[in-house]
A and B are shown apart, each in its own frame.
Chain A
Amino acid sequence: MAQENNLLPSGLPRIESLEMRGIVKKFPGVLANDHVNFDVKTGEIHALLGENGAGKSTLMKILYGLYQPEEGEILLNGRPITIHSPTDSINHGIGMIHQHFMLVDNVTVAENVALGLKSSRGLRLDLDVVSARIRELADKYGLQVDPQAVISKLAVGERQRVEIVKALYRGAALLVLDEPTAVLTPQEVDDIFVIFKQMAADGHALIFISHKLNEIFALTNRVSVLRDGKMIGTVNTADVTKADLANMMVGREVLLTRHRPPVTVGDARLEVVNISANNDDDKPVLKNVSFEVKSGEILGVAGVSGNGQRPLAEAIAGLQFVADGQILLEGQNVTNYTPAQMFTSGLSYIPEERMHDGCIKDFSVEENAILQDYVRRPYSNWIFLAFNQIAQHAQKLIESFNVKTPSRETPIKNLSGGNIQKLILARELAREPRVLIAAQPTRGVDIGATEYIHNQLLHQRAEGLATLLISEDLDEVKALSDRIMVLFGGEVMGIVRSDEVTVEQLGLMMAGERAEQVFAAA
């Protein structure tokens, strides 16, 4: 209907084309964008791909008016425009959906959308007008959004729809989607992709930032790959393979498949017997969970986020009180040990929130290398820290795990996500654990580092380590695990051999069906 007059469903004109030409952005010591050319057309979903630090965000921040480029120009429908601030950008019809939602939790959808905009009634609120417009937009775009709903009551997927409505409300014809699926469940990803495709079909232009290759193939028309600030190339998605893109991104051959050789498994290292636990509000988060992990085995834990994975890891690590049941580490009862006792008993734990729980970002690489062991020899001598030993240890971790850092004294926050994760993994493995819990070990980590981390986990498996791998990335779980346990609502839906189960079957279990039902149906 809108097609004939070149208007979008929202009633606004399309952006026929947007072009960024010869963009140069320098930061002290880094050429973040080196003569980058990029363009996007109406009706297109264009992926912007690159590892952390490749310059994707810089380019998009320039488009959104957050940075000013040193050189280059931006053309809208063939005419040069200047963007000095996000307001300019919004006025030109450019909208941005940030990875972390920019919503005020304790007010309604309508209030969030109206936030920062002028009311049509001067000093009085016009939330009814806003609500009506939201309903109209939601209707035209097939986005289920209730203007009266309070944000904190909404699921993550719903909040994302609110962000989209917010951008549309502000007149976005071109949308920049910054890793929009990072926080979504597989089902929510499917839903949102339908919406994105419809928006493109309606004449919107979409820029999709991601480093998940599967999603790029599922969604986009073209892909542009950035590496080290340079545009490596723009290709039609249909013309390339995943391996091609990975190679463009990393600059070398990358193995996307993992080789998991047979290993003779040994004795049970970690036994969890019927444990139950409650959260701070006294709601059960784990119900009668039982499993064991043997030496030389990786047990994957799959499940939609928030179904007990984190409490499980924390219960084993001594961070979550176990109300009932037993945890045995190499036969020794370690139920409700303190974290420090768990670490001395042979546990290593890579927490899922790397920057929050896994390291201290203002501490140097060196100081982070001894986070658990700072009181132990050889890192301390009586009450003093033994700096020589600490430096040697940090150097060993950096070298053996190929951590890229300017120096041992650099604050860890200056490292990329992948390198921080490599250092944490190195630290945990250097403690020579008997059991390792790896929670989301590659989330937000670039392809190169992911490959490295996966290979290390497999290497440790061959050395006899018992690993509990918790991940929301089903491909990762399937590729690395010998067996997979699915959690739903704090309960075990089943434990299956990973080469005997399909992703679809896992999906059903993640949605709450027990393994027996799933396999009986098959």
Chain B
Amino acid sequence: MQKSKLNRQFFDRLIDALMPVFAVLAAFAVGAVILLLQGVNPLEAYQAMIVGAFGSKNGLADTLVKATPLLLVGLGIAIAFRGGVINIGAEGQIIMGSLLTTWVGLQLGEQVPGVIVITIGLLAGTLMGGVWGAIPGYLKAQLGVNEILSTIMLNQIAIQIGYYLLRGPMMDPAEVAAGTNIPHSARLIKDIDMPRFTDIAQSLGFTQSAKDLNIQGFLGELYGVLVEPTRLHSGFLFAIVMAVLVYIFLWRTTVGYRIRAVGLNRHASRYAGMNVKRTMVLSMTLSGAFAGLAGAVEILGLHHRMFEPTAVSAGYGFSGIVAALFGKLHPLGIIPSSILFGGLLVGGDKMQRAMQVPQVLITAILGLVVLFVVSTDYLVRKRQSRRVDTSKGKDEKDEDVEGTAVPTTKPEVSA
């Protein structure tokens, strides 16, 4: 009897853990119906998607390249959620971060050694994103302005600032000279490119390609990603290190403790003598800082110049929220989750090209994934709370006070 109970508990937990996987499968199932209605064989389509995202070294590299900003943004989102505030402004923070990083790169590029410019550039992006996050944080804490509204507004402001700078002071002199006036900056000098994986591998002495070593199949592709020239850059490793640091920050430090305490119950935090308002501003600032850092990494690792703001942020500010939720708002959980969503973005593109399905259909399927993931998250929480309720089997009637194990998206206007 004891054993069967244990088994059941284990089974319950297992189902909870696999719930996101079910969600993705369910979304794909609904997506399959849509594909069928379009006259496309869903199995072929999904095959194209998976092979496109994970089947080749270039596909894999693109997946990880897209996972990088998702992961960094997702970390910031997780900090905000844990701190009881909601950051919908990562798009704007990415743009502001990438603008300042580009500007630093343009100004310092020639005069200072590359490593130092990269460092300053990353710091500049982080700082600028932090400022762009601090504004709604401060407005919420001091004036009770809903941070969801203010962050969305600030996204628009950031986009317009971006266009202004790229059409004016930051426009590529070559464009001005040619009179084409395409809004982008000059390319940053190569010295300040964040090293690609292949550069690192070369400097470590791995110079042979998979073909040279005669490594076949998927392993060969995997080796290819790490060693052969692809778009994959060191920003991905950097983001993973950041995930570990955020984990340590949230669960091992006093400030992280305070952020989580305020996020779970700001009343009790205030009663315990914590400065709730300052903590909320801090959570928002850190959240913005990570989005800004994502922008900086995109510039220095991938684009090497600033161009149309919305094309740089590329929706990562929103997909990052999904990646964070899918990763259970846990810094380490966001690593696999951002790789998965990076894969969906890349695979979606590939599927579109291979099957001639319209772009919107891909967006729809991604949207379904989001919808299912978020709703199963609710389901899991409900299951968990029911288990807690029943395992104590008591008639405690303490009211549900504030938040749940994972703070829900509960907009609260008053501070």
Contacts and interface: CB of A to CB of B under 8 A. Distances in A.
Given A385-B252, A416-B396, A356 B391 contact: no
A28 B5 contact: yes
Contacts of B401: 355-356, 361
A414 B388 contact: yes
Interface string A375-418: 10000100111000000000000000000000000010110110
Contact of B271 (A52, A179, A351): A351
A358 interface: yes
Nearest to A427: B272
Interface stretch (B255-263, B297-305, B320-328, B334-342): B255-263
Interface string A153-197: 000000000000000000000000001000000000000000000
Given A28-B8, A384-B254, A99 B267 contact: no
Contact of B252 (A57, A384, A444): A384
A356 B392 contact: no
Interface stretch (B38-46, B181-189, B402-410): B402-410
Given A27-B390, A28-B9, A340-B273, A356 B267 contact: yes
Contact of B391 (A27, A343, A384): A27
B391 A414 contact: yes
Nearest to B12: A28
Contacts of B390: 27-28, 30
B265 interface: yes
A55 interface: yes
B205 interface: no
Interface stretch (A6-14, A253-261, A366-374, A470-478): A366-374
Contact of A363 (B261, B393, B395, B397): B261
A100 B397 contact: yes
B403 to A, nearest CB: 7
Contacts, number: 127
A417 B398 contact: yes
B379 interface: no
Interface string A19-35: 00000000111101000
A360 interface: yes
Contacts of B202: none
B2 to A, nearest CB: 10
29 contacts: A28-B8, A28-B9, A29-B5, A29-B393, A32-B393, A53-B392, A53-B393, A55-B393, A55-B395, A57-B394, A57-B395, A179-B397, A338-B275, A353-B267, A355-B398, A356-B402, A357-B268, A359-B265, A360-B261, A360-B264, A361-B264, A362-B404, A363-B264, A372-B273, A375-B254, A411-B388, A413-B398, A414-B392, A444-B397
Q: Which size bracket describes the interface of A in this complex?
A: 35 or more
A447 interface: no
A339 B272 contact: yes
A3 to B, nearest CB: 36
B387 interface: yes
Contacts of A340: 273-275
A413 B388 contact: yes
Nearest to B260: A363
A413 B400 CA distance: 10
Contacts of A54: 395
Given A355-B398, A361-B398, A361-B401, 12 more contacts: A28-B5, A28-B391, A32-B393, A57-B397, A319-B271, A338-B275, A359-B265, A362-B265, A372-B273, A383-B253, A384-B253, A417-B396
Given A28-B9, A53-B393, A340-B273, A100 B257 contact: no
Given A362-B403, A417-B398, A30 B393 contact: yes
Q: Choose among B260, B273, B392 the residue with the greatest number of A CB atoms under 10 Å from its CB.
A: B273
A102 to B, nearest CB: 13
B399 interface: yes
Contact of A30 (B255, B264, B265, B391): B391
A371 B399 contact: no
A349 interface: yes
Contacts of B252: 384-385
Contacts of B257: 367, 374, 385
A363 B272 CA distance: 14
B92 to A, nearest CB: 30
Contacts of A58: 393, 395
B352 interface: no
A422 interface: no
A41 interface: no
A46 interface: no
B12 to A, nearest CB: 9
Interface in A101-129: none
A253 to B, nearest CB: 24
A343 B273 contact: yes
B399 A52 contact: no
Contact of B265 (A229, A360, A411, A444): A360
Contacts of A354: 398
Which 5 A-B residue pairings sit nearest by Cβ, starting from the closest?
A57-B395, A53-B394, A340-B273, A30-B393, A27-B390
A230 interface: no
